[in-house]
Amino acid sequence: MQKVNIAAKLATFNDHWQPRIVGELNGQHVKLVKLDGEFVWHHHADEDELFLVLDGHLTIHLRDHVVELDAGEFFIVPRGVEHKPVAAREAHVLLLEPATTLNTGNVRNDLTVDHPARI
């Protein structure tokens, strides 16, 4: 059992859209990710997904509206809801989601991370 320093973990990588696992609890992964630009439209059929913005600004596009998030704010995308995260500038985000969650959900492309690194 060790504490986790989020800033120190974020300092260990610079790439975007490549989540890193920093903890686990009750079958959930706690992940850190740096986002920049647009992601792909996707959904997670069986999993909810929490986005907590640590730094920067994140826009989550849904088919019927847009959610704007600043540092200190979070949004939970319910399972089955199609969404597309967008960061106009680099944003640092903590994700909380089931360990089985694939970052691109029902889509497979060059942004798909089958086995996120643990840091």
**What is the model's pLDDT at position 49?**
95
Let me know if residue 28 belongs to a domain.
yes
Q: Is residue 69 part of a domain?
A: yes
| Of 57, 11, 34, nearest in space to 103 by CA | 34
Please give the tally of structural domains in the chain.
1
The mean pLDDT value of the chain amounts to: 96
- Domain presence at residue 45: yes
Query: What single letter denotes the amino acid at residue 11?
Result: A
| Residue bearing tokens 């990588």 | 13
Separation between Cα atoms, residue 5 and residue 29, nearest integer Å: 16
Task: Tell me how far apart the alpha carbons of residues 6 and 34 are, in angstroms, rounded to a whole number.
Answer: 12
β 83-98/66-70 pair status = unpaired
Task: Indicate the pLDDT class of residue 68, thresholds 50, 70 and 90.
Answer: very high
Please report whether residue 67 resides in a domain. yes
pLDDT band, residue 1 (cuts 50/70/90): confident
- What global pTM score does this model have? 0.94
Q: What is the pLDDT of residues 14-58, one digit of tens each?
A: 999 999 999 999 999 999 999 999 999 999 999 999 999 999 999
85, pLDDT greater than 90: yes
CATH of the domain at 45: 2.60.120.10
Residue 1 in domain: no
